[in-house]
Structure 1
């Protein structure tokens, strides 16, 4: 099973195409930027661009109404290579086929991070509501009980400091 997850900013306005059958598809790009320091301590940066495609009229409509250039998104899906003809040559393009999307920054047309009024009766549901960016990675979101070590959860598990070695050592 293939699963790709990215967080980045939309690089161009989503383009919606409607087929004769009434089915819709939306194409947009997302920029994901990595930042690090090299061995000399100098800041470095690299941006990778992902061409994204979403199908299904509900998902296409939500993206068309609420996502614009600069919107920060979480996008989940799978990579798919497609071939096409251009100037008599066969070309290949890799696309991220969107299965999941969450707006985590500005909504379309929003300059201050506030949710915009929804058009055509769309109400954000879980997974589509804007959220404020988190300061740290790996921080639990919501009301979760405090995490316990394995030794706290199971008294027969060796403690990290070895304090219960005599009780847990089977030899």
Structure 2
């Protein structure tokens, strides 16, 4: 059995670019930056940024072009693909993630919601003691296999169930998951 699965969570480095293929199918591409933080041998905190080329097709491409912009946080699942083409300077290669699932992350503070993606604080008056803040409530729109799903949450999940087909293969803490994919 072979597995080709990529999962990345990060921020767009540029606005999505949508084009139509000669067949008429829509394709959107953008670059996603993911941060990696670790301590070196001497205990000094180190940081590194990795950049991923993302490509998506059909309705997923339209949603990305409509709701995402430079700086948007997004979780992408898909498969790795390397394309090649001939250029006047020689053969060129590009490795990209072909997305099949997309989850919009929380918007930056002060951003306005548009279209079907919403992020809002609770409108009810807070009964929490002074000095404590009430957590914001977010809504994720997840596009999976042609269907748009709405998933409310208060915080990012602490763990994610890894599932292949009908069989559940375990749970990973979000920090562990991010370490695995970075």
Q: In which range does the TM-score fall when normalised by the shorter chain?
A: 0.5 to 0.7
* Corresponding residue number in structure 2 for 1:31: 33
8 Å CA contact 1:105–1:130 kept in 2: the answer is no
Q: Distance in 1 between matches of 2:153 and 2:36?
A: 21
Shift of 1:139: 7.9
> Which ranges of structure 1 fall in alignment gaps of 5 or more residues?
141-171
Question: Root-mean-square deviation (CA), in Å?
Answer: 2.6
1:126 aligns with 2:128: no
1:105–1:85 distance in 2 versus 1, CA, 3 Å: farther
In the superposition, the TM-score normalised over structure 1's length comes to 0.66
Shift of 1:31: 0.6
Q: From 158, 167, 177, give the equivalent of 1:137.
A: 158
8 Å CA contact 1:115–1:130 kept in 2: the answer is no
Q: Distance in 2 between matches of 1:65 and 1:113?
A: 15
**Secondary structure class of the residue paired with 2:60:** helix
* Corresponding residue number in structure 1 for 2:115: 117
Large movers: runs of 4+ above 3 Å:
129-133
Q: Distance in 2 between matches of 1:48 and 1:7?
A: 11
> Which ranges of structure 2 fall in alignment gaps of 5 or more residues?
118-140, 142-147, 162-182
* Corresponding residue number in structure 1 for 2:180: none
1:35–1:90 distance in 2 versus 1, CA, 3 Å: same
Shift of 1:137: 3.3
8 Å CA contact 1:36–1:45 kept in 2: the answer is yes
Q: Distance in 1 between matches of 2:27 and 2:91?
A: 23
Which structure has the larger Rg over C-alpha atoms?
1
Higher strand share: 2
User: What is the aligned length?
Assistant: 130
**Secondary structure class of the residue paired with 2:159:** coil
Q: Distance in 2 between matches of 1:139 and 1:94?
A: 26
* Corresponding residue number in structure 2 for 1:8: 10
1:80–1:89 distance in 2 versus 1, CA, 3 Å: same
* Corresponding residue number in structure 2 for 1:66: 67
8 Å CA contact 1:103–1:131 kept in 2: the answer is no
